Amino acid sequence: MLSKKLNDALNKHMNLEFHSAYSYLAAVAHFETEELPGFANFYSIQAKEELTHAMKFFNFIQDAGGQAKLADVAAPRQSYKSPLDVFEASLKQEQNVSSEINKLLDLAIAEKHAGTRVFLQWFVTEQLEEEALFNRCIRRIKIAGKDGQGLLLIDQELGKRTGDGEAAAE
Ligand code: FEO
């Protein structure tokens, strides 16, 4: 059984994961408009991953005897100056998610709720991977992305992302 405090904190985090999905979908729209389909593909897969993260929270809360409550999802940022701008905003978002996961973990430990602790462990690892992924993309965009040709090469590379860990950038 979850305490009200832990249930509320898990619901708040579920909402943040839905917000991440919204943000990455906004990036899909941005890159499709910019005629960069590879970047759009990368973010489309990322948005789907965020939905699965949100659903992991939904299912866990229900399974743990709590109640998943769906609140308003904040509108994402929708305009960007450059691909680098998008990726830097995404990295910041992931860093915030990581910090929130850490806070949740602290709460689960304080409440001695072993089930939540074990559940959150997967997210601790996932966040390390997500931050590493965005950092890697940022470095590559900085190297190659200043001229149009470099950007198109990265676009091709990101277009190969399949969502099962096979993309060149993953
Ligand atoms: Fe589910 Fe990228 O945080």
What's the rounded Cα separation, in Å, for the pair 93 and 114?
Answer: 27
Please classify residue 64 by burial: count the beta carbons closer than 10 Å to its beta carbon, then call 0-12 exposed, 13-18 middle and 19+ buried: middle
Task: Using the mean position of ligand 1's atoms as its centre, give its distance from the Cα of residue 120 in Å.
Answer: 12
Q: Is the CB of 97 under 6 A from ligand 1?
A: yes
**95 closest CA partner among 51, 52, 131:** 131
What's the rounded Cα separation, in Å, for the pair 101 and 121?
Answer: 9
Confidence of residue 144 (pLDDT cuts 50, 70, 90): confident
Every domain of the chain and the residues it spans: 4-70+80-159
Higher pLDDT, 148 or 29: 29
What's the rounded Cα separation, in Å, for the pair 170 and 157?
Answer: 10
The second-level CATH assignment, the architecture, of 4-70+80-159 is: Up-down Bundle (1.20)
Read off the pLDDT of residues 48-104 as tens digits, 9 standing for 90 and up. Answer: 999 999 999 999 999 999 999 999 999 999 999 999 999 999 999 999 999 999 999
Q: Is the CB of 50 under 6 A from ligand 1?
A: yes
> What does the block give as tokens for 85?
């701008």
Task: Using the mean position of ligand 1's atoms as its centre, give its distance from the Cα of residue 47 in Å.
Answer: 9
**6 closest CA partner among 93, 99, 114:** 114
Following DSSP, what letter does each residue of 54-119 receive, concatenated?
A: HHHHHHHHHHTT------PPPPPP---SSHHHHHHHHHHHHHHHHHHHHHHHHHHHHTT-HHHHHH
Q: Is the CB of 170 under 6 A from ligand 1?
A: no
Does residue 148 carry a pLDDT above 50?
Answer: yes
Q: Is the CB of 17 under 6 A from ligand 1?
A: yes
Query: Ligand 1 atom 2: the closest Cα is on which residue?
Result: 94
**Which numbered atom of ligand 1 lies nearest the CA of 130?**
2
